[in-house]
Each structure stands twice: as structure tokens, then as C-alpha cells.
Structure 1
Amino acid sequence: MTEQRILITGAAGKVGTQLRPRMARAGRKLRLLDLRQPLPLAELPDGAGVEAADEEVVIGSVSDTALMAEACKGMDALIHLGGLSGESTMDKVIDVNIRGTLLALEAARDAGVPRVILASSNHAVGFTPRTDVPVPADTEPCPDTYYGLSKVAMDAAGRMFADRYGMDVLSLHIGSWFPKPRDLRALATWLSPDDGARLVEACLAVESPGYRVLWGISRNTRRWFSLAEGEAIGYHPVDDAEDYAAELIAEHGEPDFDADRELVRVGGKWCYTELGGA
């Protein structure tokens, strides 16, 4: 069996930490790239009992052209999680999220990496009214922040590399990828760690997808986003944020979708935060 070789940028971050133990398997080599040393697999929250994975670590930034070029060599796929995970100044967002994504795509193209999975975000369409649900994956961009704008740029860059160079690029509009939903909005937007891994595996397995935009959410009873595009490539989530509804409602009260401004638009409170913050 041919070994599958996958580069994961941002591997020491929150999503990368949840993904790694779920991707470890025989016949697969993971190359982990981050600014800091990732924890050993056995020390991760979900790493106990996972068979030893074939992993190697590259320390550095996605904005380092030479490092990215070297890291992409010999890889079958790139999972690009690296970058800022929240709002920042315009200059930082442009440098890390937009320039970093372009460098990652360029490095993958130059190294002959045939498939790239991009960690985009619901904030690329944050100002979409919740009344328009289910929101299709290809809905019109309407970013809610500089961060959201950088994800629109990420989607566009992925589309260009797919169309121009024939690469397979799948852009994931991730909802709320956490171990458990943290607020009332997450009852609609949650992506469980297990479903997140199912989505990534579907992206790796589907034949000749070309360019795709997919929602990264679980099978939530109250979901706002379409699952049809994911199901078309074999993503069939099983978890449901409704399992946590009683606990969240006890803490925050019943959701008021007409009065609570954080539930009016799909970007939630991000639609009302000041741009250029920390």
C-alpha cells in the first residue's frame, strides 16, 4: 500500500490539536507545521490510546516562502489551518491570512501537491441574515470582519488555483469547531471534533472534486447551513449540538431569534465587533 503523505499547517492550534489523533492511522504520514512545537500525540485530549502515528514536525511560519516550499515537497495533500484564528489589525490579517494562504497555495502548486483543503470560515458570509437559512455553501460573500474578508480572499485564491492549475481545492466554511458547543449560536453552527475529522477525510477521499466550498458543521437540529454540498462528496455528520441544548438554555435562557442581535445574522456577535481589534 502506498503511504499517504499529508502536510498540516497550524498543526499545534486548536483545530489541528483536535484533528491529529483522528487522522493517525497506518499507511499515513503527517507532516506538522507550526510556529511552536506540537504536543506529543499521547498528551492531546483525545490522543490517549491512539496508536503511535508517523509524524514529523516543521517549525516555522506559513509566511516563510522557503520553508513552505520545502514542507510541501513529496506531499499528497495540504490541510491549511495556519493563520490568525480571529480578528486582528488589517495589516496582520493581510500578511498572515491572505499572503500566507497565497504562499501555501503557491508552494503546493510548485511542489506538485494535487489537493489542498483550506480552513475558511462562516465569517466569510457573516452578514447573511439568519432568515435565509439553510445558507448554501456558495452563498454570496458578505464578510463581517477583516478576518472574514481574509477568508473570502482564501476562497477566491483556492478557486483561482483550481481553475488555473487544475488543482483540487476544497474550502471549508467552518462554523464553530470545538469539543462542545459554547453558546446558543453554536446550537446551529457547531462542528464536533469527530465530524470535523469526517469532513476532512471525505475531502481527502473524493475523486477529482475540482473546486468545492463546503460547510463545516455537524448534523445540528437547529443548523443554519446546508449539508447538501458536503453530502455530495461523502460527508455524513452524525453529531448534534441539540445534545447540549438543555445545558446551554439553562445557562443563557431560551434563544430569541427576533430580538437577540447575535442570532439575527449568521456571523453572530462578529457583525458588531469593532474592526482592527486585538
Structure 2
Amino acid sequence: MVGLTMRMAALPLAAGLLLGLSAPVHAQSANGVGSPFELAFWQSVAGSDDPAVYDAYLQQYPAGTFAGLARAKLATLRKALSLPAPVAPTPAPVVAPAAATAAMAPAVATVISPPPAAAPPSSPLLAEPKPAVVAAPKAAVAEASDATSDANLLLELARSQEVGSGTDRVVAANGFALPQRPVLADIADLPLPTSFCSAEQRNAFYETRYKPYLDLARANNDAAIAHMQKLQQAYDSYQLSRDPSPMNALAAEASSYQQQVAAGTYARQAAVVRQFDQIMALPVTTCQIATATK
């Protein structure tokens, strides 16, 4: 096995690029400090070891909710970049759990942002994300016909979320269609052995069992993020035209998808990442090969 030199403690970026969308007519301040947009921005950069993404967050939200964390993370990264890179140790035969951890380090999981290294243990974003709460839209003065149209549109969307109704093609009364939800792969739990007979056996388990399992969980998470980004782009396009009906439908779909799908895919990927430490903690013992007696 080649190049497993870095610990895989950082979680990939959260799938919760939640569209915290307020009422479309009053959406001018929806992306300010404390808004769901700020939370989505922070979730998209958290866990990265690229100083540029934290600079981008601080430029957008210099007094943001996570500004202190961003500055602390930025200072840590810049200090780490000034240190010489450690020399990768030569793998040696493993006879104890402590030596097993040094013999094989995890491959760095690639995500849509630059590949992350180990984040500080005190990072509060390593826990499973909680779905962001979408603030209830403020009441807006509208004509009776517009209110009726919005109510019908939201009713169609609510019906689409019912079991068996099929949410991949939700069409509103005025002909607007929501983006189709991606099809995600089913991921069963990965059972772990009680021990390994050698470091080579453990490395083989990592390559043939754990890594494909991790790639599948990451692909689901990436697909959920891409769908949330697609909803965001659609919402932005209708915001320019001040069309409230599709904006309300997109906001409702984003909130529903975040709670029903995106949060779950992120939690699953986080659980798979945590299994790496469990694999490394398994003992490596000399196995007795039973031979048939004649």
C-alpha cells in the first residue's frame, strides 16, 4: 500500500449547503450575519486546510458568527505552513496496536474543496451537523390573486413530499418544475474484524473494503451538496426577476431536502470517517494457522 502518510481526522465539508431562504420579496438581507446563508458558507469551508477559504469567509463576514473561529483556524494554518514538512517514516513490521498506528496512515479523502489535513481537536465542526433552521418568512402585502397562487404552489409542494408521491418531478400550478433530486446509493453498515493477523492484512482491508465504502459515502454526500447548489442557483435566478412563486417553492424544497436527505448523507459520511480510527485501534496479533492432523 502506497502513500498512507496522513491521519484522516477531518470531516469533509458538510452537505448542509442549506438555502435559508426568506420571503422572496424581502430577501435583500437574507445573506447577512446570522442568516442561513452565512451558516451554509461556513459549512462549505469548515474542515479545510486552505487558508484562502477562511480569508474569503472573513472578507464576506468580517464580524460574522464564526469570525473568531475562522481567524484562529487561519492563524494555525499559516503557522503550520511555515514549519518544514515531516519526513514520511519507513513502514516497519507491526507487533502492537501502538506501532500499528504509526505503520499505516490513512489516505487523504478528496472532497470538493482542497484536500483537508487533520483539523485541531477543538474544532466544533467535527460533530454531526444539525439542520439549519429556516426562519419563517415575514408577512408581505400582496394582491389576493398572488396569495392564492402562492398557496396553491406550496400545497403542490407539500403533496409532493408525501410517501409514494415521488419528488423527482414536482410541477407547480404555473408550470414551474423543481430540479430533480439525485439518486443516492444505499450504504449498509461496514462490519469490522476483531483483529488483524498482520499489518499487511490490515492494509488490504483498508484498500479493498474500507476505502470503497468511504468513496461511496462521499459520492452520496457530494451529490446532495450539488443538488443544494442547484437549488441555490435556481433561487438566485428567480430572485433577479422578483418572481415569488418559484422562489417560495425552491425555499421549501431546500429546507425539506436538507432535513430529509442532506443531513443524513453527511452524518453517514462522518460515521464512515470515524471508523478509520476504529480500524487503526484493532490489535495486530500473530494468528495460529490450524493444520489438519493425519
What TM-score, normalized by structure 2, do the two folds share?
0.23
The answer to which structure has the higher strand fraction is 1
Of the two structures, which has the highest relative contact order with CA contacts closer than 8 Å and spacing of 6 or more? 2
The answer to which structure has the higher helix fraction is 2
What TM-score, normalized by structure 1, do the two folds share?
0.24
Which protein is bigger by CA-based radius of gyration? 2
